[in-house]
Structure 1
Amino acid sequence: MTAAPPQTFRRRFVRESHVTIAHGGGGSAMRDLIDQVFTSVFQPPGNEDQARLMTAALQEPGARLAFTTDSFVVTPLEFPGGDIGKLAVCGTVNDLAVGGARPLWLSAAFVIEEGCEIALLRRIVATMAHEAERAGVRIVTGDTKVVERGKGDGVFITTAGIGVIPPGIDIGAAKIRPGDVAIVNGVLGDHGAAILAARGDLALSTDLQSDCAALGHLMQAALTAAPGITAARDCTRGGLASALNEMAAEAGLAVEVEETRLPLRPEVVGVCEILGLDPLYLANEGRLVVFCPPDQAEAALAAMHAMPEGAGAAIIGRAQAGQPGRVTLRTAFGGARIVDMLVGEQLPRIC
């Protein structure tokens, strides 16, 4: 008897325009959604419940793994300059990069609300794939869950990232020394201001776009030009002010910032004046602050200026002996004010 040829199973095309509860039920509808919306774009290595990864970079003596995780919620899901998918990739890449790591792999888990447009999901996934390619990372594993209508906010994304810290790189806020110069890689507050305007609640008219960007390549260029960099941190929720406060506290030093050196767009300053906000606390998604010895500051600055993500880089202040954890702003009028940690939240659902 001739054996019957093996059956070939073909996935059905996702014809629904919106996500339904069936798409989270573990059956064929879920498999079709995963195959056609996610894995067909991300193309992970293999189809198992885990990614199996190798890199020669870990064979170098002294190399270390860096690992981070983050969740992303933003309203609206799409905004000028990006969407929640771009936030998820760039935010996770940046958390690795500021530790001196070369980002390599990401995971992505989606919590999707029933009724979410599948076309929107496709746009978010396409953005993630594009940003991952630009950043030199791969999205290698993930998960999807569907929650009932009204129990989510369209889409939530949780990402984890793995990178490799090369031998000889050992940076962190505790290593900042008195005299170290503080550098930011561009204008501040664009992301927070753009999100606020995009929500439409306050009838603000502006052409501002989010600064969302992956900074792995920029950080590597800065480390090459200025190997004495002592610390770096991305200025996300809580903005530059919170990042500096955290770093000053960990270093046990004071930090003074020059108001006249802060790179701020007039539009951002104007939005903040109208709404009574402080631009130093506005969230950024493509901005970091780096500390380095003063004799390497110009080299670090030049390396940043050579890249699109660092075109607006500026020296803004320095670390100094003083009350541990205190951050002060030297104003344009010659006075000084304390820049404290953000209390509460200026703008919720921002990243």
Structure 2
Amino acid sequence: MNIITLAHGSGGVLTHKLIKEIILKEFNSPILRELTDAAVLKVGKNTIALTTDSYVVKPLFFPGSDIGKMAIYGTVNDLSVCGAKPLFISCGIIIEEGLEVDVLKNVIHSMKEASFVAGVTIVTGDIKVVERGKCDKLYINTSGIGVMGQNIKLSIDNIGIGDKIITSGSIGDHGISVLSAREGINFGGSIKSDAAPLNKLISKILRAGGVRFMRDPTRGGIASTLNEIAEDRNFGIIIEESSILVKQGVYAASELLGLDPLYIANEGKIIVVVSKDSASRILRIMRNDKLGRDARIIGEVVKKYSGKVILKTKVGGSRIVDMPQGELLPRIC
């Protein structure tokens, strides 16, 4: 690896290689090595979660959302899938010289609205301005702090044979929304980003019990997330193509562009691994929430296919779902 490419930011094979071979080699922290969406930390008698993320999506505004909402919701969701109640957000903004002030105002207003919807408070921040041409309009970094719920320990180590895989709804909406705005392509239908805060839905799920692990499938889509779960484990994952919801507009766009919806980014969905006995109960709870009304069981954890994700196709075949190899849709978040 001599240079960094766009593929290193895809959330796929090269991203994981970069993290393991360079970052973890130097930042040799046991907490960091867990590679969770947020670090779970003991502070005195309390347990908190801390996360950080950066947003470079292009364009800044697209159907259903914008970079400001994404920055808040993404941070809230990364805390929530670890079992924390999100509370406080920091915001760092890097601005290119020449950006219209009204654009910045609109982004800041979106962040304010998103914070109110998610029930979090922006408490600190920073602004930097760089020369014209040294940044593409505006980038955002957010960090978040949340308080862990009592007796909540979500981990891939909890997953066992027979556990069910649930998604909270359709996949690929966000990635296709951004792509359509970026390229000026109308794929037909009303494709909007699914960006949303999932903390309230997740709180309901956790109270039901039976949750082993959860993650929000952003970069690399559900393919990347499921591979992260199965990697180096003594179990495999089988998913059913017929059970995975892909909206018609997303399906049409994927067919036209040669994309696989399994690999397209989401910003308002979760993958939940639950015990077999609790699956029906949790599914009902999710479907009673507007952000989970299209939830469905898409697969299960199996003894064979260790370390692999297998898709059973609609025509009766099967294929391996690999970790993403390159960058399908750069700057999608």
TM-score in terms of structure 2 length: 0.85
> Which whole-Å CA distance do the structure 2 matches of 1:251 and 1:136 have between them?
36
Kindly report the root-mean-square deviation, in angstroms, between the aligned alpha carbons of the 2 structures: 1.7
**Aligned mates of 1:236, 1:251 — CA distance in 2:** 22
Matches within 5 A, 1:44-63: 63=46
Give the corresponding residue for 2:78: 95
**Partner residue of 1:194?**
177
Quickly say closer, same or farther: Cα 1:170–1:194, change in 2 above 3 A.
Answer: same
Q: Distance in 2 between matches of 1:197 and 1:59?
A: 44
Aligned position for 1:123: 106
SS in 1 for 2:169: coil
- 2:102 is the alignment partner of 1:80: no
Corresponding position of 1:266: 248
**One of 278, 282, 285 as aligned partner of 1:296:** 278
Q: Does 1:217 align with 2:177?
A: no
| 1:325 maps to which of 307, 326, 330 | 307
Structure number with larger C-alpha Rg: 1
Q: Are 1:132 and 2:108 matched, yes or no?
A: no
Q: Which residue number corresponds to residue 169 of structure 1?
A: 152
Contact 1:108 1:141 in 2 (8 A): yes
1:251 to partner: Cα distance: 4.5
Equivalent residue pairs, number = 293
How far apart, in 2, do the equivalents of 1:175 and 1:191 lie? 30
Question: 1:185-228 CA deviation, whole Å, 9 max, x = no partner?
Answer: 01100000111111135564442000000111111111112x12
Q: Which has the higher contact order (CA 8 A, sep 6+)?
A: 2
For 2:42 and 2:178, locate their aligned partners in 1 and report how far apart those are by CA, in whole Å: 43
Aligned residue among 104, 120, 124 for 1:141: 124
The Cα shift of 1:100 comes to: 0.8
1:340 to 2:316 alignment: no
Amino acid at match of 1:312: D
Large movers: runs of 4+ above 6 Å: 58-62
1:239 aligned onto 2:221 = yes
Which whole-Å CA distance do the structure 1 matches of 2:99 and 2:172 have between them?
29
Question: Which residue of 157, 164, 175 corresponds with 2:140?
Answer: 157
Q: Is 2:305 aligned against 1:305?
A: no
Tell whether the 8 Å contact from 1:71 to 1:157 is kept in structure 2 after alignment: yes
1:35 aligns to what?
Answer: none
Shift of 1:62: 6.9
- Following superposition, the deviation at residue 282 of structure 1 comes to 0.3
**2:16 corresponds to:** none
- Are 1:67 and 2:50 an aligned pair? yes
Aligned residues of 1:210 and 1:285 also touching (Cα < 8 A): yes
Aligned pair in 2 of structure 1 residues 260, 117: CA closer, same or farther (>3 Å)?
A: same
Stretches of structure 1 that go unaligned for 5 or more consecutive residues are 1-57
1:302 deviation in Å?
Answer: 1.2
